[in-house]
Structure formats: structure tokens, C-alpha cells
Structure 1
Amino acid sequence: MKDILHLSHANGFPGGSYDTIASFLAPHYDVRHTDRFGHNPLFPVTDNWPHLERELIHYFETQYQQPVIAVGHSLGGVLSMMVAFKRPDLVKAFVMLDSPLLTTVQARGLQFAKRFGLIERFMPIRRTEERRTEWASFDEAMDYFRGKTLMKRFDERCLMDYVKAGTEPFEGGLRLRFNPEIEASIWRSIPHTLRPIHNLMVPGAVIGGRDSDIFRRVNGAHMQSRLNMKVRWLPGGHMFPFEHPEDTAEQIHQLLREMLG
């Protein structure tokens, strides 16, 4: 029987956005995903994401009868690590994709930025709140997102995955499924409190984008030295899983073979 591999998404990118990556992992794992964090009123977005952590724990508890491999991109990677710390009985191993564990200096700087309203200078909050949310057709939505700086290097299959997963029919056209207000709230409440209070009880790894402005070399070194996590790098920035889906899947599989045998 295949291990269950659960994919948790980045902020603003519903789980189906990773379908191409999942297709490369499917020969080895039973791949599942979270659709949208933060949209269930039972698990609201609050500072440092405790309810989003509870949302992932609840999903693992209710949907699976065995520990799972938790793979997460950005937001999803942080939540996967949080669950691995709090409930290692639910996680067999985890792999984070461009998700940093902050150093002490970075965490204090983030706390300061949040406290004094400076967080919008460092996170794409205003751009999120002003994002267009409706299109006349699928092709129009594809053209719109293809022209966005964040997505201009996406593999065409991944861009199509995102538009399929990220929009829904609405009055003869399409509208965005991931609420921009919720996405902005997630950015504003990004955890500054995540600290390794003990050693990891399950194997963990992180893959960073070589040109990422989110996951830096200092974060990789910190996670390797503090938590004995495996650290790998792939070409691309913070969105490298969508830019290099096959390489991302191959690296995930390789890391899991190293950690789990």
C-alpha cells in the first residue's frame, strides 16, 4: 500500500494548483491535498496561525487512519512543520517547499513589523487586496495571470492548474475562489513565534529556490543546524514548484527515499 502524501498549498493557491506536481508523485504515493486554508469559519485566520494549524490537524485526524507524509509550499510548509512539532503521531515525515524557519533576528524583525503596522512593506498585501477577481472566460483568465510577474515563469501546465483550481463559474464568467481578504489576513498574521522547542520527532527536509526572496541561505543553514533537517536547492524563486514541477517532484521523492528508506 502506498504512503499517503498530503500537499498543503501556498497562500492564495488552492490545492488543485499542484495537480501537475502531484501527477509526477502519484506513481509512488497516494497524493491528496488541502483545498483552501482559512475559508472555514471554524478555523479563522488569527495572529500566528493557531487555527490554521488546528485545521490541518483536524483534517489529518478525520481523513486518515495512518501517519502521512506532509509536503507543503510556503504557508503549507510552515503549517506542516507546526503539525509535525505538535502532533508527530500524525506525520511520518515532512518536506517544506521554500518555507523558512526564521532565525531569532528575523523573528524579532517580523514581530516589530507586525506590531507597528510595517508588515505591508514586506508582504504583498496591497497587491493582494487590489487583485482582479473576475474574468469573462477561462482564456481571458489565463492571459491575465500569464502576464503577472509572479507567474510569468510558470510551466504552462501549472498555470492551467492554477486557473482551473483558483476560479469558479460566476454570472457567465469566472471569479477567484481564494478570497483576497483572507489571503491578505494570512500575510498580515504570518507567525513570528514558531520556535523549535524540542528536537523533531519525525524526519524533515526543506527545498529552497536558489533565487527566492523568502527562503534564504541563512534559513537553510539554521534549519539544518538546529533541527538536523535535510536542505536542498532547485532553480527558481519562491514559486519554483510551479516553474519546475517535474524537478520538484523528483527532489521530493529523492528526499523521502533518503529519510524513510
Structure 2
Amino acid sequence: MTSQSGLRDILHFSHANGFPAGSYQILLDQLAEHYDVKTIDRLGHQPQYPVTDNWTQLEKELTHYFEQNYSRPVIAVGHSLGGLLSYMVARNRPDLIKGLIMLDSPVLTPMQAFGFKMLKRLNLSDRVTPAGRTDGRRQHWADQQEAMDYFSGKSLMKRFHPESLRHYVNAGTEWVDANDPAKGVRLRFDPETEMNIYRTIPHNVRSDKPLAMPSAVIGGRNSDVFWPMNGARMKSKVGMKVRWLPGGHMFPLEKPRETAELIHQLLGEML
């Protein structure tokens, strides 16, 4: 998509927790046919932006990246963690964002927000987030093929597009020692960081007034994260377009081409 200046619009994509940006290569390649696509490889891995409650430093990481790397407002697209962080930047720094699309990223209703605030105070958030499943997760394999076999059996990933799974393993693992392949591969996304991100999900993000830019959210019809009540509130209070695609919370990696098509369609309607 070309802006009024004659330049292609910059589309910055932000990934979900635990899934480096390279995991979304099919989606990103398709979007790159229309936009100048940019990413941050792994959010939450820079020491100057530690994971804190309500993701205050992670929001700063994304804000500062936009400030330092882009000379004009960008289209912000994000999945899960990346979608909510993009929303937070759009809410607090609307000058940086031209349009916003969130992928299965709920802005909590007031009741949900109060409940999660209480769970965090009681150290019970692991009961309702994937943090509990992340604790003790396997981190090491003999090679990428063994990692592929392992992840293909996981319920979260068993419906991934086959190439999305390959891209996730390529982006999400690294050699323990590049000079000694016998030492195998390990996860690149730090599991402790992943757990902390789940445990500090924001309970203070406002959803009571419209954003300053066009925005939309795409939900998975079978998602256990983004519910119809979240979509209804984001439509009525924030003024967002709401669309749905088949699949669960990970639909951008299950149906990456369909997701890219709908993103491009929505941007054509919005901008």
C-alpha cells in the first residue's frame, strides 16, 4: 500500500509471547508484497527493557523502537502480546501509529481486568495463563529435526501450517555451540522471560474510549483467549472493526495466508 508521499507504508509486526518474529515468515512474506514490513526479533530480551508488571517497559521498548527507526507513522500489526503492546503504544503515542490491527489480542473488560489484578496479587496467575505450562518446559534437542518432531506433537502447535512450524523451529532455536553441532540446539526465546510476560499481563489498559487512528481486531473463532465479549467491547467502546477467522489463538500460524489477506483487506477499508 502506497502512502500519500509515494512511499510504501511501513507495517511493523509484533510477535506473540514465545514466538520470535521469524516464526511468521509466510504471513510476513505475503504482507511484504504490499508494505514495507519490519519486526523486532524478540521482545523482552533487551536488558534495558525488563519485563515488569503491566508491561510498562515492554511498551517503552516498542515505543522507543518506533521513535528511533521510523520517520513517519506506521501501521502496527501484532499477535497476542504484540497486538496488546501495539494497542498500548497507539493509546499513549498516537503520533507514532497510522493504523492498528490486533490478532487475537483482547483488551480486558473491566471485570476481567479486576479479576486478573486480584490473581496477580495472590500469585495465582499461573492458573489462568500458560505460565504454569512454560515452567519446566524442555529447552534442548539433539538437532532441529528432533525439535520439529517434539513441537509437532504439542497441542498448541499441532494445527500449525507445516511451513509455519518449520519457520518457528528455525527462528526459535539456535545451536548451543555453533562450532560443535553435537551439543544440539536450544530455545532462543528465554523461558523465564516468557513466564514473566504471562505473569504480568496488564490489568490497567483502558478500553473506554476510541483510538485516534483506524483500528481493527481479528479473532480466532475457537480461541480460548479472545472471546466474543472482548470483541464486542472493543467495537462499542474503542470503535474497532471486528473480524473472525477459523482457528484458535494461534490462527496466524495455522492459516497465515488467510490472515495476511484479511489484514490487507482491512487496511484497504481503513486507510
Residue 248 in structure 1 maps to residue 259 in structure 2: yes
Residue 60 in structure 1 maps to residue 66 in structure 2: yes
Which residue number corresponds to residue 139 of structure 1?
145
Is the 2:207–2:234 Cα contact (8 Å) retained in structure 1? no
Give the letter aligned to residue 20 of structure 1: I
Unpaired runs of at least 5, structure 1 = none
Cα distance in 1 for partners of 2:114, 2:91 equals 21
Helix, strand or coil at the partner of 1:150: coil
Helix, strand or coil at the partner of 2:54: coil
Which residue number corresponds to residue 21 of structure 2?
15
**Structural mapping, 1:38-187, within 5 Å:** 38-171=44-177, 172=181, 173-187=184-198
C-alpha distance after superposition, 1:203-254 (max 9, x if no partner) = 1100000000100000000000001100000000000000000100001001
1:144: Cα distance to partner?
0.7
Question: Could you list the runs of 4 or more consecutive aligned residues of structure 1 that deviate by over 2 angstroms after TM superposition?
Answer: 196-199
**TM-score where L is the length of structure 2:** 0.94
1:126: Cα distance to partner?
2.2
Give the letter aligned to residue 199 of structure 1: P
Give the letter aligned to residue 72 of structure 1: G
Is the 2:109–2:207 Cα contact (8 Å) retained in structure 1? no
1:2: Cα distance to partner?
1.1
Which residue number corresponds to residue 236 of structure 2?
225
Cα distance in 2 for partners of 1:142, 1:3 equals 35
1:96: Cα distance to partner?
0.2
Q: What is the RMSD computed on CA atoms of the aligned residues?
A: 0.9
Cα distance in 1 for partners of 2:131, 2:226 equals 18
Give the letter aligned to residue 105 of structure 2: S
Helix, strand or coil at the partner of 2:237: helix
Cα distance in 1 for partners of 2:109, 2:29 equals 34
1:202: Cα distance to partner?
0.8
1:24: Cα distance to partner?
1.1
Q: What is the percentage of aligned positions where both structures have the same residue? A: 61
1:54: Cα distance to partner?
0.3
Cα distance in 2 for partners of 1:240, 1:209 equals 6
Unpaired runs of at least 5, structure 2 = 1-6
Cα distance in 1 for partners of 2:49, 2:189 equals 15
1:196: Cα distance to partner?
3.5
